[in-house]
Structure 1
Amino acid sequence: MAPPSPPPPATGAQYAHQFLNTALSQRGPSALPYAEDVKWLIRNHLVALADAFPSLHPKAALFTHNDGRAAHLLQADGTIPIHHGGATYNLPAVIWLPEPYPRSPPLFFLSPTRDMLIKPHHPLVDRSGLVANAPYLRSWVFPSSNLLDLVRSLSHLFGLDPPLFTRSVANPPAPAPAPVPTPPPAASSPAPRQELYSPAPRPYRFPASPQLAARPPPTEDPAEVFRRNAISKLVDTAYADAAALRTAREAEVDTLFAVQAELRARGDMVGDGVRRIAEEKEALERRLQDVMMATDVTEAWVAQNRKGSAAHDTDADGAIQPADALSRQMLDCTATDLALEDTIYALDKAVQDGSVPFDGYLRSVRALAREQFFQRVLCTKVNNAQQQAHVARMAARAPQYAS
């Protein structure tokens, strides 16, 4: 069995995808200065460009504006192939993505080496290497315009009129395209000038851009320009409306979350109230059971005493008799206490009238008060004993009511 083949290396699109996922997901001071709602579109543009042109690699570098401001921006650095004179050449280029990209076009620069020159008075490239007059850049429409179509259109235009040529020690001949370094030609091969760039070993042909295939630069139909501007305006309006609608919906969602939290709090309060009501209901049911037991005891006592009251000759003293020894003792103690109270009251009247001397009054009151104290202590003890006996009787009758 043959050994397994090693995994294939990452393609340009895979590398671009990994790099851009890391670069565009950064937050804080190291975040790139692009709008959050278009970062996915920027990533798609660069990944598609790296997939079609593997020689262009996405990077992040420091860019200095004309006013001196510096910012970390994305760029696609490398070479773009052109087809000229039956051969394919590679032009060194850098594509910068400014802060408002993709709503604004990118900045396309040619980066010639020290042995290369920019063709003077080129219709698309100025002396600094900036590609400023390309029709695709002047007619940039968001969000349909992209980097892939831009590079294809420039590759087609530069193939018709190369913007770079190599230096020559003698009279310079007609401009020739230049990008991929190659060894100098052999001595047996005469050449009119020293070529630093030659056709690539694997020619790469690109189809003509739809915007540039049928007409020479830079004339355009006014109706087409108006249509593109109208589309751009409609797209911007749609994005603005979508952003406003999203803000309104987020506010509504926040309000609904607040209402939900309040309802949950009120639900907890209602649950607590229901629990307290259930506890109070149980307490009332126990109280009702006690009252029913006491009612039964009272009714039984009334029925029993009605049977004995049939005789009319019963005297008043015997109409009410203590039920037991404790009740009889309580009756005696209470009667003695009240009699002592009346005696003390009578002595007070007597001493006020002068019938009883004051020293005799003090001795009598002291003796009566002592006796009254002992009677009240005895009443308290008897009362406690009666309560214990009552509880014992109710406990003995509890199984009857529970069933």
Structure 2
Amino acid sequence: MAGVDESRLRVWLSKYHNSDVAARDILSVVNHYQGLVPVQETYTFNDGTPMDLVNLNGTIPVSYKGNTYNIPICIWLMDTHPKNAPICYVRPTSDMSIKPSIFVDQNGKIYLPYLHDWTSGSSELLGLIQVMIVTFGDQPPVFAKPKESDMPYPSNSFMPQAGGNYLPPYPPTSYPPTSGFGGYPPYPASSSLPYPSYTPYPTPYPPYSGSGYGGPAPAVGGTGTIKDEHIRESLLTAIEEKLLRRMKELFQQHQAELETLQRTHDELKQGKVKLNTILSRLEKEQSDLDKNITVLKDKEQELDKAIERLSNEEEIDVDDAVTTTAPLYKQLLNAFSEEAAIEDAIYYMGEALRCGVIDLDVFLRQVRTLSRKQFMLRALMQKCRQKAGLAV
């Protein structure tokens, strides 16, 4: 990562929403592709709003027909990166021209399914550049300008020069990553959508028509006739575009299937964690239940022994079941029993009055006598408890 000042890069990214993620993506790209260098420049949107953004400026190696060419590109990172897709351009040199296609418009702006389907968390700059390399290897975005002496035709003819290729070898050193590269100012976004919306994937250009860049170019000799090699080149281009579209469709279909399988895999993993938690809880409850069963069996054995022991003993007189250890406690017990008996007597006398068994005079006389005796017994119990040191 020689030549990249990481501290300066982080200063540039300080206003980004996810500066750490953006810095990590940029450093990963620079580590793999030495021809790209991060630069901070001013980007102007469609509505005229300028904004200081970081871009990756330089070249990427593209293999075309057995030769490797360095394609000049510029990748602008939005301040919301990686939530929103970057804006990408092809920046040709003065001896190159842009070859418009379904992936590059006449301003050099790049359109790719990878950009259109950009997703935060799964999409990254390194994957974007790899898709560019594969795409541009099938359909180069630039071609060499023919010399004026060899060019009797309009400059928008995109047939290869006689005896040459679309792309000349382009060394990385001839592409300085500076603002206004090759006399070209930073390209404004060609989309009419406001920031940060992404320009949708464009409708493919009509590949073959009687005029325009898709049609066969006139013969190099200027006779105006269409030669066999021109028709052959047009057919090859048509086949390439058809195969490329089919490949992209299959790629998107398989990618959607992989995403579905990945979601299913994640759901299964979450279900496994939940099941393991439930099983752990059930095992703990089973262990506690076994312990409780053991305790209950021990208690049951103790009860059986107590019942057997009591069945072998003689019957106990109810009056002798409760004994006291001191005369004071015995006096307290007797007073309590007698007071409880008086309470019951008063209750049943009230029931007899209600049923008409006794009259009111008899009821009042007996209740007055029993109440006086009950009062004396309660006073005696209170004095006994004080004497014994018990709570009153």
TM-score bracket for this pair, using the shorter chain length: 0.3 to 0.5
Q: Which has the larger radius of gyration?
A: 1
How does the TM-score come out when normalised to structure 1?
Answer: 0.42
How does the TM-score come out when normalised to structure 2?
Answer: 0.43
